[in-house]
Structure 1
């Protein structure tokens, strides 16, 4: 069992959620139950799956939850691109947040390789 609160991937992905909430707070109000909600839920899923996986008794189970977290990250990336296409996120903001997300994905992937399955 891992202490998720000590994992850099959990800390970084938790802060990333705050960034997504800040960005989506500027979206049009008619997107409250659309893209805003979807982006927020997918971003929350990343640290949540890391935390849940860390409680599992085997590294194989933990690895599966990390895989789900990576999947959620790709969902966030897709939704951010759609938000950009719709003009809700400017190019500079998209580049910054996408770089942060890619770093999280790389960190999770590297961490998964360290687990002895």
Structure 2
């Protein structure tokens, strides 16, 4: 599933980026942003394993919510100076791509 692959790539990019956050953010924004990033492909996978399109769509909506949460946290990371504008733009584009794909799949179901 293409959206799952893109969400997995997003999680990888977020983990690589957040590894450079200050040590004091280990249990703060770094932890939060990593959990949101992992939640996106995890909910896609869980929904795909459910028995109905209705359940699948519900998990896709949860994944979409996590993607929007991640987007907000990335804005904060840039505002705090943990990532550069260039790094943020790359991550933001990946999040946007995943959001568009999730919306499309939800509407299809």
SS at match of 2:94: helix
Spell out the pairing of 1:7-26 with structure 2 (5 A cutoff).
7-26=1-20
1:63 Cα deviation after fit: 0.3
Of 87, 101, 110, which aligns to 2:81? 87
Per-residue CA deviation, residues 2-43 of structure 1 (Å, 9 max, x unaligned), is: xxxxx1000110111110000000000000000110000000
- 1:100 is paired with a residue whose SS is helix
Return structure 1 stretches of 4+ with deviation > 3 angstroms.
Answer: none
From the CA coordinates, give the structure whose radius of gyration is larger: 1
The question of 1:49 aligning with 2:38 is answered no
Distance 1:54 1:100 in 2: 21
Name the Cα RMSD after superposition.
Answer: 0.6
Helix, strand or coil at the partner of 1:39: helix
Q: CA deviation at 1:114?
A: 1.4
In the alignment of these two chains, the number of paired residues is: 109
What does residue 3 of structure 1 align with?
Answer: none
> Normalising by structure 2, what TM-score?
0.98
Equivalent residues in 2 for 1:1-117, closer than 5 Å: 7-115=1-109
Gap runs ≥5 in structure 1: 1-6
**Secondary structure of 1:104's aligned partner:** helix
